[in-house]
């Protein structure tokens, strides 16, 4: 959870890897969370002063995980450091500042402070203490705020060196005293206009919490992925794959990645053998991902967390069933193709200008039929000049739903009034045809 929250809050991830140990399981988890949060990574290879340090081996391991060093032709920044001997620290700091400058990381200090709760605890002698990272604005001593669902007032602030301070700007971590209760790690922190507003917001959030709707999240599942796509909140489909053996996992990953196309991108955030554990669910929470299990089941704690956070875990025994489900979900996300069919042609033979109504075209149906509310292409001298909708269709003085070939009628268009005698109106029907995924093999 700490890795997931950290990746979501930070602007740049500094991944510290020991030169003697290399990539550990927790290193891979940290990389997964950073990639899911789309945060740039700077690698700091530590303990370079040890005799058993093997920097090239560490670079090779990280390159296999997608972090190719710049000096190897990649785009990931690497720094070689020794925390104990204080070697390379200045270079690391300069690299962080360079990356921040390239990314144009800025924040407005002249507004009410907003941030995130990193940790909170009860401190003997000081009461409830929370560590906050300020993301924008400036926090002042005496400000009223809401931390998660609890209101409070800043009684005192301490910086990361233990010094008392009176204000904290963007990117500043501070410990604050003055909370009414213990907020959760990762909860939002917001300064309010006054104490009354802080209490109102806190009370409302507590009511929502009691109703079980404080988070108000709608997680992505295979059943709702199409609706979520239409709402515009999903541009890609994130997937976590767990299996009983690595060979099956790799086969599934390769098959699913081939489903990606120009419109929809399928991202496999993690693919590994073993049971579905809490960290898999935490990654799914952070990235709104689906969890696919092959011949494996979630641990009790992972299942409980998934149920609470409404994360879908799909369990399969046959690989092709999973591929078919994901393919169907992605095809539902594709924008349907519009197909136009000409169902009739109408020739304009007279123009009538009716006060308060506009232009009515006295017309003759050449072939097919014309329907009220249908779309028409206005064709003049064999060139299509406009597409509009029929707003009125009359047979003599009576409204008509449709008029067949060989009959005269009066046609009025919704937005186009510049009709001329001799224009041809192509009456069209538009149907949407579901697209099918094309393999990238």
Q: What is the rounded CA–CA span in Å between residue 89 and residue 52? A: 21
pLDDT at 26 over 50: yes
Query: pTM for this structure?
Result: 0.54
Closest CA to 322 of 300, 298, 291, 299: 291
Q: What is the rounded CA–CA span in Å between residue 18 and residue 58? A: 8
pLDDT, position 440:
47
- For 233-336, strand residue ranges (E) read 236-243, 265-273, 289-294, 313-316
Q: What is the rounded CA–CA span in Å between residue 107 and residue 87? A: 31
Query: How would DSSP label each residue in 198-250?
Result: HHHHHHHHHHHHHTT-SS------TTTHHHHHHTT--SEEEEEEEESSHHHHH
% of the chain at pLDDT higher than 90: 42
Please report how many Cα atoms fall inside a 13 Å half-sphere around the Cα of residue 344, on the Cβ side: 21
Q: What is the rounded CA–CA span in Å between residue 4 and residue 33? A: 6
Q: 431 - beta bridge partners?
A: 339
Cα separations (Å) of 439 from 94, 281, 290?
Answer: 45, 29, 21
pLDDT, position 337:
66
pLDDT, position 339:
78
pLDDT in tens, 176-189: 999 988 888 788 99
pLDDT in tens, 338-393: 778 889 999 999 998 888 778 899 999 999 999 988 999 999 988 889 889 998 89
pLDDT at 139 over 70: yes
Dihedral (C-alpha) 436, 437, 438, 440: value to the nearest 10 degrees?
180
pLDDT at 17 over 90: yes
Question: Residue 215's CB: how many other CB atoms inside 10 A?
Answer: 12
**Burial (CB count <10 Å: 0-12, 13-18, 19+), residue 223:** exposed
The confidence band for 49, taking pLDDT boundaries of 50, 70 and 90, is very high
Q: What is the rounded CA–CA span in Å between residue 398 and residue 366? A: 20
The confidence band for 148, taking pLDDT boundaries of 50, 70 and 90, is confident
pLDDT, position 185:
78
Backbone angles phi, psi at 163, to 5 degrees: -90, 140
pLDDT in tens, 201-227: 988 888 877 665 444 444 556 666 555
Task: Copy the structure tokens of residue 293.
Answer: 């299990």
pLDDT, position 214:
41
**Which residues lie closer than 8 Å to 62 by C-beta, 6 or more apart?**
17, 23, 43, 69, 76
pLDDT, position 317:
85
Average pLDDT over residues 3-7: 66
Closest CA to 44 of 111, 103, 90, 106: 90
pLDDT at 307 over 80: yes
């Amino acid at each position: 959870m700490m890795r997931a929250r950290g990746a979501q809050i930070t602007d740049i991830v500094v991944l510290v890897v020991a030169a003697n140990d290399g990539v550990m399981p927790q290193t891979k988890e940290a990389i997964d969370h950073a990639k899911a949060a789309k945060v740039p990574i700077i690698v700091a290879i530590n303990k370079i002063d040890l005799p058993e340090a093997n920097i090239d081996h560490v670079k090779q391991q990280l390159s296999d995980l997608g972090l190719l060093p710049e000096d190897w032709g990649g785009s990931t920044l690497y720094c070689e450091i020794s925390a104990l001997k204080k070697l390379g620290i200045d270079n690391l700091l300069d690299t962080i500042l360079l990356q921040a400058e390239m990314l144009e990381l800025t924040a407005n200090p002249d507004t009410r402070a907003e941030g995130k709760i990193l940790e909170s605890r009860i401190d003997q002698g000081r009461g409830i203490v929370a560590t906050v990272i300020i993301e924008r604005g400036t926090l002042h001593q005496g400000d009223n705020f809401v931390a998660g669902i609890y209101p409070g007032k800043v009684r005192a602030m301490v910086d990361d060196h233990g010094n008392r301070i009176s204000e904290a700007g963007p990117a500043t971590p501070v410990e604050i005293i003055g909370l009414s209760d213990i907020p959760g790690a990762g909860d939002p922190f917001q300064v309010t206009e006054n104490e009354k507003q802080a209490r109102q917001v806190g009370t409302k959030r507590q009511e929502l919490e009691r109703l079980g709707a404080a988070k108000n999240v709608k997680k992505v599942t295979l059943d709702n992925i199409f609706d979520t796509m239409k709402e515009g909140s999903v541009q890609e489909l994130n997937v976590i794959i767990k299996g009983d053996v690595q060979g099956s996992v790799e086969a599934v990953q390769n098959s699913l990645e081939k489903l990606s196309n120009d419109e929809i991108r399928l991202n496999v955030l993690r693919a590994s053998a073993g049971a579905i554990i809490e960290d898999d669910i935490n990654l799914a929470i952070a990235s709104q991902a689906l969890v696919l299990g092959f011949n494996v089941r979630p641990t009790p704690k992972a299942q409980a967390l998934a149920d609470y956070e409404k994360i879908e875990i799909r369990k399969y025994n046959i690989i092709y069933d999973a591929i078919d489900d994901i393919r169907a979900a992605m095809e539902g996300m594709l924008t349907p193709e519009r197909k136009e069919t000409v169902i009739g042609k109408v020739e304009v033979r007279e123009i009538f200008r009716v006060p308060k109504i506009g232009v009515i075209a006295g017309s003759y149906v050449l072939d097919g039929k014309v329907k009220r509310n249908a779309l028409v292409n206005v064709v003049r001298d064999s060139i299509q000049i406009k597409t509009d909708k029929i707003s009125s269709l009359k047979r003599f003085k009576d409204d008509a739903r449709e008029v067949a070939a060989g009959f005269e009628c009066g046609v009025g268009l919704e937005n186009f009034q510049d009709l001329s005698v001799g224009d041809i109106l192509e009456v069209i029907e538009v149907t949407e045809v579901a697209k099918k995924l094309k393999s990238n093999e």
